[in-house]
Structure 1
Protein backbone atom coordinates (compact mmCIF):
# COMPACT_ATOMS: atom_id res chain seq x y z
CA UNK A 1 0.00 0.00 0.00
CA UNK A 2 2.77 2.40 0.94
CA UNK A 3 4.50 1.77 -2.39
CA UNK A 4 1.27 2.59 -4.21
CA UNK A 5 0.89 5.84 -2.27
CA UNK A 6 4.50 6.85 -3.00
CA UNK A 7 4.05 6.06 -6.68
CA UNK A 8 0.83 8.06 -6.81
CA UNK A 9 2.45 11.05 -5.10
CA UNK A 10 5.44 10.88 -7.44
CA UNK A 11 3.13 10.82 -10.44
CA UNK A 12 1.14 13.76 -9.07
CA UNK A 13 4.26 15.81 -8.41
CA UNK A 14 5.56 15.05 -11.89
CA UNK A 15 2.27 16.27 -13.33
CA UNK A 16 2.47 19.48 -11.31
CA UNK A 17 6.07 20.09 -12.43
CA UNK A 18 5.08 19.56 -16.03
CA UNK A 19 2.12 21.93 -15.66
CA UNK A 20 4.40 24.59 -14.20
CA UNK A 21 6.74 24.54 -17.19
CA UNK A 22 6.24 27.15 -19.89
CA UNK A 23 4.46 26.13 -23.08
CA UNK A 24 6.90 27.13 -25.80
CA UNK A 25 5.96 27.17 -29.48
CA UNK A 26 9.14 27.47 -31.55
CA UNK A 27 10.30 27.33 -35.15
CA UNK A 28 11.37 23.89 -36.31
CA UNK A 29 14.87 25.19 -37.04
CA UNK A 30 15.23 25.83 -33.29
CA UNK A 31 14.43 22.27 -32.21
CA UNK A 32 17.98 21.08 -31.67
CA UNK A 33 19.25 24.18 -29.88
CA UNK A 34 16.08 24.74 -27.82
CA UNK A 35 16.18 21.13 -26.65
CA UNK A 36 19.67 21.82 -25.33
CA UNK A 37 18.59 25.10 -23.77
CA UNK A 38 15.57 23.50 -22.14
CA UNK A 39 17.82 21.01 -20.37
CA UNK A 40 20.18 23.80 -19.31
CA UNK A 41 17.28 25.81 -17.94
CA UNK A 42 16.14 22.87 -15.81
CA UNK A 43 19.69 22.34 -14.54
CA UNK A 44 19.63 25.96 -13.38
CA UNK A 45 16.44 25.35 -11.38
CA UNK A 46 13.76 26.27 -13.92
CA UNK A 47 10.64 24.21 -14.64
CA UNK A 48 10.95 22.00 -17.72
CA UNK A 49 9.53 23.82 -20.78
CA UNK A 50 6.95 22.00 -22.88
CA UNK A 51 7.95 22.46 -26.51
CA UNK A 52 5.98 22.36 -29.72
CA UNK A 53 8.13 22.79 -32.81
CA UNK A 54 6.94 23.46 -36.33
CA UNK A 55 6.76 25.99 -39.17
CA UNK A 56 6.38 29.44 -37.63
CA UNK A 57 3.38 30.38 -39.76
CA UNK A 58 1.56 27.20 -38.82
CA UNK A 59 2.33 27.77 -35.13
CA UNK A 60 1.11 31.36 -35.35
CA UNK A 61 -2.22 30.13 -36.72
CA UNK A 62 -2.55 27.56 -33.94
CA UNK A 63 -1.88 30.14 -31.24
CA UNK A 64 -4.28 32.62 -32.83
CA UNK A 65 -6.90 29.85 -32.86
CA UNK A 66 -6.53 29.36 -29.12
CA UNK A 67 -3.62 26.95 -28.59
CA UNK A 68 -1.98 27.48 -25.19
CA UNK A 69 1.39 29.20 -25.59
CA UNK A 70 3.42 31.16 -23.06
CA UNK A 71 6.31 31.87 -25.44
CA UNK A 72 6.45 32.04 -29.22
CA UNK A 73 9.84 31.93 -30.95
CA UNK A 74 9.53 32.50 -34.68
CA UNK A 75 12.00 32.38 -37.56
CA UNK A 76 10.89 35.86 -38.52
CA UNK A 77 9.74 39.04 -36.81
CA UNK A 78 6.41 39.30 -38.64
CA UNK A 79 4.53 36.38 -37.08
CA UNK A 80 5.19 37.34 -33.44
CA UNK A 81 4.45 40.99 -34.24
CA UNK A 82 0.84 40.00 -34.98
CA UNK A 83 0.39 39.24 -31.26
CA UNK A 84 1.85 42.60 -30.29
CA UNK A 85 -0.52 44.31 -32.72
CA UNK A 86 -3.42 42.36 -31.19
CA UNK A 87 -2.45 43.50 -27.69
CA UNK A 88 -1.49 39.99 -26.55
CA UNK A 89 2.24 40.67 -26.13
CA UNK A 90 4.29 43.71 -25.15
CA UNK A 91 7.06 43.57 -27.75
CA UNK A 92 9.07 41.33 -30.05
CA UNK A 93 12.67 40.65 -29.09
CA UNK A 94 15.16 39.82 -31.83
CA UNK A 95 17.24 37.07 -30.25
CA UNK A 96 19.04 35.25 -33.08
CA UNK A 97 19.87 35.36 -36.78
CA UNK A 98 20.31 32.74 -39.46
CA UNK A 99 21.30 32.65 -43.13
CA UNK A 100 20.13 30.74 -46.18
CA UNK A 101 22.31 28.01 -47.66
CA UNK A 102 21.89 25.24 -50.20
CA UNK A 103 21.79 21.60 -49.11
CA UNK A 104 23.15 19.66 -52.09
CA UNK A 105 23.03 15.94 -52.87
CA UNK A 106 26.25 13.91 -53.01
CA UNK A 107 28.12 13.86 -56.30
CA UNK A 108 26.80 17.20 -57.55
CA UNK A 109 29.40 19.94 -57.95
CA UNK A 110 27.98 23.27 -56.81
CA UNK A 111 29.92 26.29 -55.58
CA UNK A 112 28.69 29.70 -54.40
CA UNK A 113 29.62 31.04 -57.84
CA UNK A 114 27.62 28.35 -59.67
CA UNK A 115 24.71 28.19 -57.22
CA UNK A 116 22.35 30.26 -59.36
CA UNK A 117 23.03 28.23 -62.50
CA UNK A 118 22.52 25.02 -60.52
CA UNK A 119 19.15 26.22 -59.22
CA UNK A 120 18.13 27.01 -62.80
CA UNK A 121 19.36 23.74 -64.32
CA UNK A 122 16.39 21.89 -65.81
CA UNK A 123 17.81 18.47 -65.02
CA UNK A 124 18.06 19.26 -61.30
CA UNK A 125 15.22 19.32 -58.79
CA UNK A 126 15.08 22.44 -56.60
CA UNK A 127 13.38 22.13 -53.22
CA UNK A 128 12.08 24.90 -50.97
CA UNK A 129 9.87 25.23 -47.94
CA UNK A 130 6.32 26.53 -48.20
CA UNK A 131 6.01 30.35 -48.24
CA UNK A 132 3.66 31.97 -45.69
CA UNK A 133 3.44 28.75 -43.68
CA UNK A 134 7.21 28.69 -43.11
CA UNK A 135 9.45 31.78 -43.13
CA UNK A 136 12.20 29.72 -44.81
CA UNK A 137 9.95 29.63 -47.87
CA UNK A 138 9.46 33.40 -47.68
CA UNK A 139 13.22 33.92 -47.46
CA UNK A 140 13.66 31.70 -50.52
CA UNK A 141 11.26 33.96 -52.40
CA UNK A 142 13.34 36.96 -51.33
CA UNK A 143 16.43 35.22 -52.64
CA UNK A 144 14.70 34.56 -55.98
CA UNK A 145 13.82 38.26 -56.17
CA UNK A 146 17.47 39.13 -55.66
CA UNK A 147 18.36 36.74 -58.46
CA UNK A 148 15.85 38.54 -60.67
CA UNK A 149 17.71 41.79 -60.06
CA UNK A 150 20.87 40.12 -61.37
CA UNK A 151 19.19 38.46 -64.35
CA UNK A 152 15.78 39.99 -65.06
CA UNK A 153 13.11 37.35 -65.58
CA UNK A 154 14.66 34.45 -63.72
CA UNK A 155 13.04 35.16 -60.36
CA UNK A 156 9.70 33.88 -61.63
CA UNK A 157 11.40 30.89 -63.21
CA UNK A 158 13.06 29.98 -59.91
CA UNK A 159 9.80 30.37 -57.99
CA UNK A 160 8.07 28.09 -60.50
CA UNK A 161 10.85 25.49 -60.29
CA UNK A 162 10.95 25.38 -56.50
CA UNK A 163 9.18 22.29 -55.16
CA UNK A 164 7.45 23.12 -51.90
CA UNK A 165 8.39 19.98 -50.01
CA UNK A 166 8.38 21.08 -46.36
CA UNK A 167 6.90 23.64 -44.01
CA UNK A 168 3.16 23.25 -44.63
CA UNK A 169 0.76 21.56 -42.23
CA UNK A 170 0.17 18.85 -44.83
CA UNK A 171 3.79 18.42 -46.02
CA UNK A 172 5.01 14.83 -46.14
CA UNK A 173 6.60 13.75 -42.87
CA UNK A 174 10.00 12.01 -42.76
CA UNK A 175 10.38 8.57 -41.20
CA UNK A 176 10.65 8.62 -37.42
CA UNK A 177 14.00 9.87 -36.20
CA UNK A 178 15.09 11.34 -39.53
CA UNK A 179 16.03 14.95 -40.21
CA UNK A 180 13.49 16.25 -42.69
CA UNK A 181 16.03 18.02 -44.91
CA UNK A 182 18.47 15.12 -44.95
CA UNK A 183 15.56 12.86 -45.85
CA UNK A 184 14.23 15.09 -48.66
CA UNK A 185 17.60 15.31 -50.42
CA UNK A 186 18.87 11.82 -49.58
CA UNK A 187 15.55 10.37 -50.80
CA UNK A 188 15.92 12.11 -54.17
CA UNK A 189 12.97 14.47 -53.79
CA UNK A 190 15.35 17.38 -54.40
CA UNK A 191 18.89 17.71 -55.72
CA UNK A 192 19.28 21.10 -54.06
CA UNK A 193 17.25 22.44 -51.17
CA UNK A 194 17.10 26.05 -49.99
CA UNK A 195 17.08 26.18 -46.20
CA UNK A 196 18.82 27.74 -43.22
CA UNK A 197 22.53 27.10 -42.85
CA UNK A 198 21.88 25.65 -39.38
CA UNK A 199 19.51 23.13 -40.99
CA UNK A 200 22.10 22.07 -43.57
CA UNK A 201 24.58 21.33 -40.77
CA UNK A 202 22.06 19.23 -38.88
CA UNK A 203 21.25 17.33 -42.09
CA UNK A 204 24.93 16.65 -42.68
CA UNK A 205 25.30 15.18 -39.20
CA UNK A 206 22.85 12.52 -40.31
CA UNK A 207 24.13 12.13 -43.89
CA UNK A 208 27.74 13.41 -44.03
CA UNK A 209 27.89 12.99 -47.82
CA UNK A 210 25.41 15.83 -48.26
CA UNK A 211 26.98 19.20 -49.05
CA UNK A 212 26.45 22.68 -47.63
CA UNK A 213 26.93 25.48 -50.16
CA UNK A 214 26.86 29.13 -49.13
CA UNK A 215 24.97 31.56 -51.32
CA UNK A 216 27.01 34.34 -52.97
CA UNK A 217 26.73 37.82 -51.42
CA UNK A 218 24.36 39.03 -54.15
CA UNK A 219 21.87 36.30 -53.23
CA UNK A 220 22.48 36.08 -49.48
CA UNK A 221 19.38 36.47 -47.32
CA UNK A 222 19.42 36.72 -43.52
CA UNK A 223 16.68 35.63 -41.15
CA UNK A 224 15.85 37.46 -37.92
CA UNK A 225 14.29 35.33 -35.17
CA UNK A 226 11.68 37.02 -32.98
CA UNK A 227 10.51 36.13 -29.49
CA UNK A 228 7.31 37.15 -27.71
CA UNK A 229 5.97 36.35 -24.24
CA UNK A 230 2.26 35.61 -24.28
CA UNK A 231 1.83 34.97 -20.56
CA UNK A 232 1.66 37.39 -17.63
CA UNK A 233 4.65 39.29 -16.20
CA UNK A 234 6.50 37.17 -13.66
CA UNK A 235 5.28 33.93 -15.24
CA UNK A 236 7.42 30.92 -16.07
CA UNK A 237 7.08 31.94 -19.71
CA UNK A 238 8.66 35.31 -19.02
CA UNK A 239 11.46 33.68 -17.01
CA UNK A 240 12.24 31.23 -19.80
CA UNK A 241 12.21 34.03 -22.38
CA UNK A 242 14.70 36.00 -20.27
CA UNK A 243 16.88 32.91 -20.03
CA UNK A 244 16.91 32.59 -23.84
CA UNK A 245 18.46 36.06 -24.00
CA UNK A 246 21.04 35.43 -21.27
CA UNK A 247 24.77 35.10 -21.97
CA UNK A 248 24.87 31.30 -21.34
CA UNK A 249 21.97 30.76 -23.77
CA UNK A 250 23.53 33.06 -26.37
CA UNK A 251 26.72 31.00 -26.23
CA UNK A 252 24.74 27.84 -26.98
CA UNK A 253 22.96 29.55 -29.87
CA UNK A 254 26.28 30.72 -31.31
CA UNK A 255 27.82 27.25 -30.94
CA UNK A 256 24.85 25.84 -32.88
CA UNK A 257 25.54 28.18 -35.80
CA UNK A 258 23.18 31.06 -35.10
CA UNK A 259 24.52 34.61 -35.18
CA UNK A 260 23.48 37.01 -32.44
CA UNK A 261 21.85 40.45 -32.69
Structure 2
Protein backbone atom coordinates (compact mmCIF):
# COMPACT_ATOMS: atom_id res chain seq x y z
CA UNK A 1 0.00 0.00 0.00
CA UNK A 2 1.08 3.59 -0.55
CA UNK A 3 2.94 4.91 2.47
CA UNK A 4 2.64 8.30 4.16
CA UNK A 5 5.88 9.33 5.80
CA UNK A 6 7.41 12.17 7.73
CA UNK A 7 11.11 11.32 7.45
CA UNK A 8 12.37 10.67 3.96
CA UNK A 9 15.32 8.90 2.45
CA UNK A 10 15.71 8.06 -1.22
CA UNK A 11 18.80 6.84 -3.04
CA UNK A 12 20.14 8.47 -6.19
CA UNK A 13 18.32 7.26 -9.32
CA UNK A 14 19.35 3.72 -10.29
CA UNK A 15 17.51 0.38 -10.67
CA UNK A 16 17.19 0.06 -6.89
CA UNK A 17 15.56 3.49 -6.83
CA UNK A 18 12.69 2.17 -8.95
CA UNK A 19 12.40 -0.92 -6.77
CA UNK A 20 11.98 1.27 -3.70
CA UNK A 21 9.22 3.43 -5.13
CA UNK A 22 9.23 7.22 -5.42
CA UNK A 23 9.42 9.63 -2.51
CA UNK A 24 6.79 12.30 -3.10
CA UNK A 25 6.65 15.56 -1.14
CA UNK A 26 3.12 16.92 -1.58
CA UNK A 27 0.87 19.65 -0.25
CA UNK A 28 -1.41 18.57 2.60
CA UNK A 29 -4.52 19.23 0.51
CA UNK A 30 -3.45 16.39 -1.80
CA UNK A 31 -3.49 13.77 0.96
CA UNK A 32 -6.65 11.90 0.01
CA UNK A 33 -6.33 12.08 -3.76
CA UNK A 34 -2.66 11.08 -3.87
CA UNK A 35 -3.29 8.31 -1.36
CA UNK A 36 -5.84 6.80 -3.74
CA UNK A 37 -3.60 7.36 -6.76
CA UNK A 38 -0.77 5.66 -4.92
CA UNK A 39 -2.97 2.61 -4.38
CA UNK A 40 -3.86 2.47 -8.08
CA UNK A 41 -0.21 2.89 -9.03
CA UNK A 42 0.87 0.05 -6.76
CA UNK A 43 -1.97 -2.21 -7.95
CA UNK A 44 -0.67 -1.71 -11.50
CA UNK A 45 2.57 -3.40 -10.48
CA UNK A 46 4.72 -0.45 -9.43
CA UNK A 47 6.52 -0.11 -6.08
CA UNK A 48 4.43 1.79 -3.54
CA UNK A 49 4.99 5.55 -3.50
CA UNK A 50 6.15 7.01 -0.20
CA UNK A 51 4.37 10.27 0.56
CA UNK A 52 5.25 13.13 2.85
CA UNK A 53 2.28 15.51 3.23
CA UNK A 54 2.69 18.95 4.79
CA UNK A 55 2.49 22.63 3.92
CA UNK A 56 4.22 23.35 0.61
CA UNK A 57 6.37 25.89 2.43
CA UNK A 58 7.58 23.34 4.98
CA UNK A 59 8.34 20.76 2.30
CA UNK A 60 10.25 23.24 0.14
CA UNK A 61 12.40 24.22 3.10
CA UNK A 62 13.06 20.57 3.92
CA UNK A 63 14.21 20.02 0.34
CA UNK A 64 16.41 23.11 0.56
CA UNK A 65 17.97 21.68 3.71
CA UNK A 66 18.82 18.41 1.98
CA UNK A 67 15.81 16.15 2.48
CA UNK A 68 15.75 13.43 -0.18
CA UNK A 69 12.70 13.33 -2.43
CA UNK A 70 11.94 12.52 -6.05
CA UNK A 71 8.83 14.60 -6.73
CA UNK A 72 7.56 17.92 -5.35
CA UNK A 73 3.84 18.70 -5.73
CA UNK A 74 3.10 22.22 -4.48
CA UNK A 75 -0.16 24.03 -3.76
CA UNK A 76 1.17 27.20 -5.36
CA UNK A 77 3.70 28.41 -7.89
CA UNK A 78 5.65 30.48 -5.34
CA UNK A 79 7.25 27.56 -3.53
CA UNK A 80 8.04 25.78 -6.78
CA UNK A 81 9.65 29.02 -7.97
CA UNK A 82 11.60 29.14 -4.71
CA UNK A 83 13.14 25.72 -5.35
CA UNK A 84 13.69 26.56 -9.02
CA UNK A 85 15.65 29.67 -8.02
CA UNK A 86 18.00 27.41 -6.08
CA UNK A 87 18.31 24.88 -8.93
CA UNK A 88 16.65 22.18 -6.83
CA UNK A 89 14.06 21.06 -9.39
CA UNK A 90 14.37 19.76 -12.94
CA UNK A 91 12.80 22.63 -14.91
CA UNK A 92 12.12 20.45 -17.95
CA UNK A 93 9.71 18.32 -15.92
CA UNK A 94 7.79 21.14 -14.27
CA UNK A 95 4.17 21.56 -15.25
CA UNK A 96 0.96 22.94 -13.77
CA UNK A 97 -1.45 20.11 -12.95
CA UNK A 98 -4.41 21.14 -10.83
CA UNK A 99 -6.63 24.01 -9.75
CA UNK A 100 -8.77 24.45 -6.66
CA UNK A 101 -11.32 26.75 -5.06
CA UNK A 102 -11.27 28.65 -1.77
CA UNK A 103 -14.20 28.33 0.63
CA UNK A 104 -15.38 29.62 3.98
CA UNK A 105 -16.46 26.75 6.23
CA UNK A 106 -18.11 26.47 9.64
CA UNK A 107 -18.84 23.55 11.97
CA UNK A 108 -21.72 21.52 10.55
CA UNK A 109 -24.05 22.19 13.49
CA UNK A 110 -23.32 25.91 13.67
CA UNK A 111 -25.81 28.50 12.45
CA UNK A 112 -23.20 30.53 10.57
CA UNK A 113 -24.57 32.67 7.77
CA UNK A 114 -22.69 35.22 5.71
CA UNK A 115 -22.77 36.46 2.14
CA UNK A 116 -19.25 36.75 0.76
CA UNK A 117 -19.24 40.31 -0.52
CA UNK A 118 -17.20 43.51 -0.11
CA UNK A 119 -17.57 44.94 3.39
CA UNK A 120 -19.14 41.76 4.78
CA UNK A 121 -19.28 41.62 8.58
CA UNK A 122 -17.13 38.53 9.03
CA UNK A 123 -15.93 39.75 12.42
CA UNK A 124 -19.52 40.00 13.62
CA UNK A 125 -20.41 36.59 12.22
CA UNK A 126 -17.58 35.03 14.24
CA UNK A 127 -19.32 36.21 17.43
CA UNK A 128 -16.05 36.35 19.33
CA UNK A 129 -14.86 33.01 17.97
CA UNK A 130 -11.72 32.28 16.03
CA UNK A 131 -11.11 32.12 12.30
CA UNK A 132 -8.74 29.31 11.31
CA UNK A 133 -6.36 29.73 8.38
CA UNK A 134 -3.23 28.00 7.27
CA UNK A 135 -0.43 30.39 8.24
CA UNK A 136 -0.79 33.27 5.75
CA UNK A 137 2.85 34.20 6.20
CA UNK A 138 3.99 31.19 4.19
CA UNK A 139 1.41 28.46 3.56
CA UNK A 140 -0.37 28.69 0.18
CA UNK A 141 -3.93 28.18 1.47
CA UNK A 142 -3.40 30.88 4.08
CA UNK A 143 -1.89 33.27 1.56
CA UNK A 144 -4.87 32.85 -0.73
CA UNK A 145 -7.22 33.34 2.23
CA UNK A 146 -5.57 36.58 3.30
CA UNK A 147 -5.68 37.86 -0.28
CA UNK A 148 -9.42 37.14 -0.45
CA UNK A 149 -10.12 38.87 2.85
CA UNK A 150 -8.04 41.87 1.80
CA UNK A 151 -9.93 41.96 -1.49
CA UNK A 152 -13.19 42.27 0.43
CA UNK A 153 -11.70 44.84 2.81
CA UNK A 154 -12.17 42.80 5.99
CA UNK A 155 -8.69 41.48 6.81
CA UNK A 156 -7.95 44.22 9.33
CA UNK A 157 -11.20 43.53 11.20
CA UNK A 158 -10.54 39.79 11.63
CA UNK A 159 -6.75 39.53 11.80
CA UNK A 160 -6.76 39.48 15.62
CA UNK A 161 -9.19 36.54 15.56
CA UNK A 162 -7.10 34.41 13.21
CA UNK A 163 -5.59 31.17 14.47
CA UNK A 164 -2.67 30.25 12.24
CA UNK A 165 -2.42 26.54 11.49
CA UNK A 166 0.64 24.72 10.17
CA UNK A 167 -1.19 23.59 7.02
CA UNK A 168 -4.66 23.64 5.47
CA UNK A 169 -5.71 20.30 6.95
CA UNK A 170 -4.81 21.57 10.42
CA UNK A 171 -6.92 24.67 9.74
CA UNK A 172 -9.79 22.39 8.75
CA UNK A 173 -9.48 20.39 11.97
CA UNK A 174 -10.01 23.54 14.06
CA UNK A 175 -13.40 23.90 12.38
CA UNK A 176 -14.27 20.20 12.53
CA UNK A 177 -13.71 20.15 16.29
CA UNK A 178 -15.49 23.45 16.91
CA UNK A 179 -12.31 25.11 18.16
CA UNK A 180 -12.81 27.75 15.46
CA UNK A 181 -16.09 29.42 14.56
CA UNK A 182 -15.11 29.36 10.90
CA UNK A 183 -12.17 28.69 8.64
CA UNK A 184 -10.96 29.24 5.12
CA UNK A 185 -9.73 26.15 3.29
CA UNK A 186 -9.61 24.70 -0.19
CA UNK A 187 -12.83 23.37 -1.64
CA UNK A 188 -11.33 19.89 -1.83
CA UNK A 189 -10.57 19.93 1.90
CA UNK A 190 -14.15 20.87 2.70
CA UNK A 191 -15.35 18.03 0.47
CA UNK A 192 -13.03 15.57 2.21
CA UNK A 193 -14.46 16.60 5.60
CA UNK A 194 -17.91 15.50 4.51
CA UNK A 195 -20.65 16.28 7.02
CA UNK A 196 -18.21 17.55 9.65
CA UNK A 197 -18.30 21.06 8.18
CA UNK A 198 -20.67 23.17 6.14
CA UNK A 199 -19.59 25.42 3.29
CA UNK A 200 -20.76 28.97 3.97
CA UNK A 201 -19.63 30.25 0.60
CA UNK A 202 -17.02 30.08 -2.15
CA UNK A 203 -14.70 33.04 -2.69
CA UNK A 204 -14.75 34.41 -6.25
CA UNK A 205 -11.73 33.40 -8.30
CA UNK A 206 -10.81 37.06 -8.83
CA UNK A 207 -10.53 37.69 -5.08
CA UNK A 208 -7.19 35.89 -4.82
CA UNK A 209 -4.30 34.74 -6.98
CA UNK A 210 -5.05 31.77 -9.25
CA UNK A 211 -4.81 28.52 -7.28
CA UNK A 212 -2.44 26.40 -9.32
CA UNK A 213 -0.72 23.18 -8.24
CA UNK A 214 2.55 22.61 -10.13
CA UNK A 215 4.55 19.38 -9.97
CA UNK A 216 8.16 18.61 -10.89
CA UNK A 217 10.97 16.17 -10.40
CA UNK A 218 13.72 17.24 -8.06
CA UNK A 219 17.07 17.98 -9.67
CA UNK A 220 19.03 14.84 -10.55
CA UNK A 221 16.02 12.54 -10.24
CA UNK A 222 15.51 11.73 -13.92
CA UNK A 223 15.18 8.11 -15.07
CA UNK A 224 14.19 6.94 -11.61
CA UNK A 225 11.03 5.98 -9.78
CA UNK A 226 9.98 9.61 -9.60
CA UNK A 227 9.91 10.00 -13.38
CA UNK A 228 7.57 7.01 -13.78
CA UNK A 229 5.25 8.31 -11.06
CA UNK A 230 5.24 11.82 -12.54
CA UNK A 231 4.11 10.37 -15.85
CA UNK A 232 1.39 8.38 -14.08
CA UNK A 233 0.07 11.55 -12.43
CA UNK A 234 -0.85 12.74 -15.91
CA UNK A 235 -2.67 9.53 -16.82
CA UNK A 236 -6.42 9.55 -17.26
CA UNK A 237 -6.70 7.21 -14.26
CA UNK A 238 -4.95 9.68 -11.98
CA UNK A 239 -6.69 12.76 -13.38
CA UNK A 240 -10.06 11.09 -12.80
CA UNK A 241 -9.16 10.65 -9.13
CA UNK A 242 -8.23 14.32 -8.83
CA UNK A 243 -11.47 15.34 -10.52
CA UNK A 244 -13.53 13.11 -8.24
CA UNK A 245 -11.88 14.79 -5.24
CA UNK A 246 -12.98 18.20 -6.52
CA UNK A 247 -9.80 19.46 -8.16
CA UNK A 248 -9.81 21.10 -11.54
CA UNK A 249 -7.18 20.06 -14.06
CA UNK A 250 -5.28 22.40 -16.34
CA UNK A 251 -5.56 21.92 -20.09
CA UNK A 252 -2.14 20.30 -20.52
CA UNK A 253 -2.15 18.19 -17.35
CA UNK A 254 -2.51 14.88 -19.19
CA UNK A 255 0.76 13.12 -20.03
CA UNK A 256 1.06 13.16 -23.85
CA UNK A 257 0.85 9.67 -25.29
CA UNK A 258 0.79 8.03 -21.87
CA UNK A 259 -0.25 4.38 -21.92
CA UNK A 260 -1.33 2.84 -18.61
CA UNK A 261 0.52 -0.32 -17.57
CA UNK A 262 -1.10 -3.56 -18.71
Judging changes above 3 Å, is the alpha-carbon distance between structure 1 residues 246 and 115 closer, same or farther for their aligned structure 2 residues? farther
Aligned pair count reads 228
**1:210 corresponds to which residue?**
197
- The structure 2 residue matched to 1:107, chosen from 106, 110, 122, is 110
Structure-2 separation of matches of 1:116 and 1:202 = 30
Task: Note if contact 1:38-1:48 (Cα within 8 Å) is conserved in structure 2.
Answer: yes
Which structure 2 segments of 5+ residues have no match?
1-15, 251-262
Structure-2 separation of matches of 1:107 and 1:52 = 33
Task: Note if contact 1:37-1:252 (Cα within 8 Å) is conserved in structure 2.
Answer: yes
Aligned residues: CA RMSD: 2.5
1:214-229 mapped onto 2 (5 Å cutoff): 214-217=201-204, 219=207, 222-229=210-217
TM-score w.r.t. length of structure 2: 0.78
Which structure 1 segments of 5+ residues have no match?
1-15, 149-153, 169-178
Structure-2 separation of matches of 1:191 and 1:201 = 18
Shift of 1:79: 0.8
Structure-2 separation of matches of 1:255 and 1:55 = 22
Of the structure 1 ranges 24-33 and 86-95, higher mean CA displacement relative to structure 2 is found in 86-95
Task: Note if contact 1:57-1:132 (Cα within 8 Å) is conserved in structure 2.
Answer: no
- The structure 2 residue matched to 1:144, chosen from 132, 145, 149, is 149
Judging changes above 3 Å, is the alpha-carbon distance between structure 1 residues 251 and 73 closer, same or farther for their aligned structure 2 residues? same
Question: What CA deviation, in whole Å up to 9, does each residue of 1:173-230 have, x standing for no partner?
Answer: xxxxxx74553124332111001011111122xxx25211222536466411111101
TM-score w.r.t. length of structure 1: 0.78
Q: Rg larger in 1 or in 2?
A: 1
Structure-2 separation of matches of 1:17 and 1:237 = 9
